[in-house]
Structure 1
Amino acid sequence: MALSEIDRNLLERCLTKKPRAWEDFVDRFMGLVIHVINHTAHCRSVLLASTDRDDLVGDVMLQFVENDFAVLRHFRGQSSLATYLTVISRRVVVKKLIERHQATSLGSLAGEPHSNDASVEQRIEDREEVDRLLQSLGGTEAQVVRLYHLEGKTYQEISRTTGMSTNSVGPMLSRVRSKLRGMPQA
């Protein structure tokens, strides 16, 4: 698919630094960037906290604006802008995930505690909270949450276990998270 007129105009506005151009760019492509981050992490069986996802969004967006929009200036229009940005986003995310994995591996080799390690007491409290929240969910929802968050299963493994389609796992987890956020804390 060739570059659309809308994207051509948006790209030109960004490169000439027109007012609100960057905000319009972010509005148009933020969902794409988040999807690439989630998909890339999922394909590499990496669980991302929302703060990790936010950091990766920042890394990708920074890549787009670095050196006076160099990445956008290199776009040749031989594909859609979305396709080009998907490739760039994926490269940034893979690089950052590898860096994060290497830093974690080096830290554990040096005997340093992982930054996300919790004390035994905290883990017990967290597990009790998770168990309380799971009791408020129905059968399949609870099973999917348990498999994903507690057992670290991939979407494909959850699909095989539950019989639901792989493409339904992510949306169900999102709905459950929204539901749980609305619940009163113990």
Structure 2
Amino acid sequence: MSLSEIDRILLQRCIDGAPRAWQDFVERFLGLVIHVANHTAQSRGIELDDSVRDDLIAEVFLVLLANDRGVLRRFRRNSSLATYLTVVARRVIARRLSDLVQRNMVAVRESDLQADSQATRIEDREEVERLMQRLDPQESNIVRMYHLEGKSYHEISQVVGLSENSIGPLLSRARQKMREGA
């Protein structure tokens, strides 16, 4: 999907700093960023409370405003603005969630603890590195990209040259090997 005329105008108004442009931008894309926050947390088995969700959403919008709206200025306009913002928001949120999980500031759902108890208990980076050594280099690389760097299946498939549909099963097998090695 390409950039719509409405979004093109709104984007340009934001970049130009037009009156009320930022408010219009936030109103248009707030729901999208909320959805990305919820989905990103859910996909990682993280339970968000309202204050953490609000902080994540604020962080995304702060990133968009930083450096004189640098992220918005770098948008190449060869996709929809919503698609671009989804990618930006997911990266910001995944990185922040990773930091919060490492500091134990968000709760991991009970069911995910049971399903992935060995992996979620690991607090020591050296232990993670030791477990990743049990994997072949490709598996280790994919685990690192997904869990530590917050990359999507699509992004990983582009880097490693595998189909997007093969990333999930490969991650599952790698997680199982890591659990067996813990």
Fold shared per TM-score above 0.5: yes
Unpaired runs of 5+ residues, structure 2, are 116-182
Aligned to 1:52: 52
Superposed displacement of residue 69, structure 1: 0.3
1:28 and 2:6 matched: no
* Structure whose CA Rg is larger: 1
**C-alpha distance in 2, partners of 1:21/1:50?**
27
1:3 partner SS:
coil
Aligned to 1:110: none
Aligned to 2:155: none
Distance 1:38 1:100, change over 3 A: same
Aligned to 1:152: 110
> Number of paired residues?
113
1:29 partner SS:
helix
Aligned to 2:88: 88
> Per-residue displacement from partner, 1:14-52 (whole Å, max 9, x unpaired)?
000000000000000000000000000000000000000
**C-alpha distance in 2, partners of 1:116/1:78?**
36
Unpaired runs of 5+ residues, structure 1, are 105-114, 118-148, 158-186
Superposed displacement of residue 153, structure 1: 3.7
Q: Are the aligned partners of 2:59 and 2:92 in contact in 1 as well (CA < 8 Å)?
A: yes
2:26 partner SS:
helix
Superposed displacement of residue 102, structure 1: 1.5
Aligned to 2:72: 72
1:7 and 2:7 matched: yes
Instruction: Return the letter of the residue paired with 1:55.
Output: D
Instruction: Write out aligned runs for 1:133-148 (5 A).
Output: none
Superposed displacement of residue 9, structure 1: 0.1
Distance 1:116 1:98, change over 3 A: closer
Q: Whose RCO is larger (CA < 8 A, sep 6+)?
A: 2
TM-score (ref. length: structure 2): 0.58
Instruction: Write out aligned runs for 1:118-133 (5 A).
Output: none
